[in-house]
Amino acid sequence: MGTQTKIVVVKGKELIYTALFLILLIFLIILMVNMFGSNKKTDTKTAGKYVPGVYSSTITLGENTLNVSVAVDKDTISGVTIENLNETVTTMYPLLEPALNEINNQISVVDNVDEISYSKENQYTYIILNQAIKNALEKAVSQN
Q: Answer yes or no: is 93 within a domain.
A: yes
Q: Give dist(CA 88, CA 122) in Å, integer.
A: 19
Q: Answer yes or no: is 18 within a domain.
A: no
Q: Answer yes or no: is 19 within a domain.
A: no
Q: Answer yes or no: is 2 within a domain.
A: no
Q: Answer yes or no: is 36 within a domain.
A: no
Share of residues in the chain with pLDDT > 70 (%): 89
Q: Answer yes or no: is 133 within a domain.
A: yes
pTM (two decimals):
0.62
CATH number of the structural domain spanning residue 112: 3.90.1010.10
Q: What is the pLDDT of residues 130-140, one digit of tens each?
A: 999 999 988 88
Please answer whether residues 143 and 51 qualify as being in contact, where contact means their C-beta atoms are separated by less than 8 angstroms: yes
Q: How many domains does the chain have?
A: 1
